[in-house]
Structure 1
């Protein structure tokens, strides 16, 4: 029992140090040695528990977007509910530094970009699945919704574009919701 408890404490210390280091340095510049030093352990322990820097990053950015069940409620308000949830996920009660860490790291590193694709691709697609009548359209619709959600995140929380930052949550949601709604259940023009 003591060994398991010590092992859990070591894992927690490594993850806490990794999250801080990835937030400060990004994926590319963060090193296993620096993370181990921050956690007060030998670098071999990081490798023992997580196998690689990619494995550690995946564990440190294991993010649940906590997407609501979008099938509940009026179909014409899905875009608004999703937009509001996402904005509040970034800055409300559900906010956490891990989204920022993941997003900032994804801009400069392929491993982080792949992780961001996994998080958004899997979770947004899963949330929209029951709402999209044509399964062949699901990947495109989920991808387009993600472009809006990630674009707002980039401009408001990372680049801090003044007009976007200045909007209150209700105004931001009101501007974002119609586009998200159209991507979910509006017509998809054919590529020309």
Structure 2
């Protein structure tokens, strides 16, 4: 009896690359840079580990790509400057949390102390957040104000990730959003 011909697997470089990035983001968020392995990332993506290296060269380069795909601060800067504080506070405290944004926060928290990942995180934060924020703010103290805004945003993001800011009452969450919005608006000047 003749065997049916096997259907060759369709190759799709873009889909493979996206699967690797998604698996890497998940692993780095769960385990941090130092613990996540190319083998575990490949397993989660359903591919051979050699493909991870073929597409990205190394785990270090894959980590940089995951950080780069996390986006920039530009979406926070879109809109009226006079409404920045309120707009960002609502996004941080009241809008549904996008899992990809939470993953990036976890990656940063779990990997910042790594001798290999720390410099990549700092470079990405400078390029994706502080640089554009400083340019948007302008003025001689833009670097200080950008870092103040960054500290407020990071703190609010961490508090939400830990326990939703500890507030179950919607009215209290609204009050917190107004207070945070005021602090952010003062920071941008």
TM-score (norm 2): 0.73
Instruction: Check if 1:48 corresponds to 2:54.
Output: yes
Higher relative contact order (CA 8 A, sep 6+): 2
Instruction: Check if 1:13 corresponds to 2:19.
Output: yes
User: Kindly tell me: are residues 105 and 4 of structure 1, through their superposed partners in 2, closer, same or farther at Cα, counting changes over 3 Å?
Assistant: farther
User: Kindly tell me: are residues 14 and 93 of structure 1, through their superposed partners in 2, closer, same or farther at Cα, counting changes over 3 Å?
Assistant: same
Task: Report deviation, 1:92.
Answer: 1.7
- Number of residue equivalences: 175
Question: Following the alignment from structure 2 to structure 1, what is the Cα–Cα distance between the partners of residues 92 and 134?
Answer: 14
Task: Report deviation, 1:109.
Answer: 3.0
Q: 2:37 aligns with which of 10, 31, 35?
A: 31
Q: 1:73 aligns with which of 80, 85, 94?
A: 80
Task: Report deviation, 1:152.
Answer: 1.3
Task: Report deviation, 1:108.
Answer: 4.4
Unaligned runs of 5+ in 1: 186-192
Q: String of CA shifts for 1:164-191, please: whole Å, max 9, x gaps.
A: 2316442232121222122211xxxxxx
TM-score (norm 1): 0.72
Give structure 1 regions of 4+ aligned residues with deviation exceeding 6 angstroms: none
Q: String of CA shifts for 1:15-67, please: whole Å, max 9, x gaps.
A: 22212222322222100111122223222221111112122122223212552
Instruction: Check if 1:143 corresponds to 2:147.
Output: yes
Question: Following the alignment from structure 2 to structure 1, what is the Cα–Cα distance between the partners of residues 135 and 127?
Answer: 10
- 1:87 touches 1:173 (CA, 8 Å); kept in 2? yes
Question: Residue 174 of structure 2 aligns with which residue?
Answer: 170
